[in-house]
Amino acid sequence: MAKKRSAGADAVEAMAPASETVHQALHGGMVKTSKVRGELISRSGRTVLTRVKVSPDAPSVYEVGPKLTNLIHALGNNTVAELLGVSRSQPGRWARGEEGISAENQAAILDLDFVMSLLLRTMSAELAGIWLVSPNAHLSGARPVDAFRIGGHRRVVEAIQAYAEGAFA
């Protein structure tokens, strides 16, 4: 006896080839197809992206340099250096293009930029400066600057979000 196939599986096979993971999801019953437009629709009713076009100039929009410049402007060169664990002259050399930025330091710059963006959307610049150097109950009494430097951005982001929600540990 032949295995019964769903109409969705037949419709998907008529579409452009999908990746193996998407193919498994489709045939595993996690996704069905819309009969109206032939788009892939999840059981929750959301369209499943099958193709994303990235603009050719996108890499220049997402360069780390402008974020580093913003951090230096907001926090000062020495504070940025301290938070990233590099020499005090390093952020300036990076910003001027005198030296390349390692992948590890690029990630740290992006993390710090995210922290500052979230923080400054949550509180005033003056309060943010105080918050960064004050012991924080959500960080087990650690100061956010120390928690960032030692453990990265995740716990600091959680502490900012808790503050924004009005939670106090």
Which residue type is seen at 17?
Answer: P
**Same structural domain for residues 82 and 135?**
yes
In this structure, is residue 169 part of a structural domain?
A: no
**Same structural domain for residues 38 and 65?**
no
In this structure, is residue 1 part of a structural domain?
A: no
0.95 exceeded by the pTM?
no
Per-residue pLDDT of 16-44, as tens digits, reads: 444 445 555 555 555 555 444 555 666 67
**Same structural domain for residues 35 and 62?**
no
Q: Which residues pair with 32 in a beta bridge?
A: 41
Cβ(50)–Cβ(16) below 8 Å = yes
**Same structural domain for residues 23 and 65?**
no
**Same structural domain for residues 29 and 86?**
no
**Same structural domain for residues 126 and 152?**
yes
In this structure, is residue 88 part of a structural domain?
A: yes
In this structure, is residue 107 part of a structural domain?
A: yes
What mean pLDDT, rounded, does the chain reach?
A: 82
When pLDDT is cut at 50, 70 and 90, the band that residue 47 belongs to is confident
Per-residue pLDDT of 99-147, as tens digits, reads: 999 999 999 999 999 999 999 999 999 999 999 999 999 999 999 999 9
Compute the average pLDDT of residues 5-22: 44
The residue segments making up the domain with residue 31 are 7-42
Cβ(113)–Cβ(80) below 8 Å = no
d(CA 66, CA 139): 29
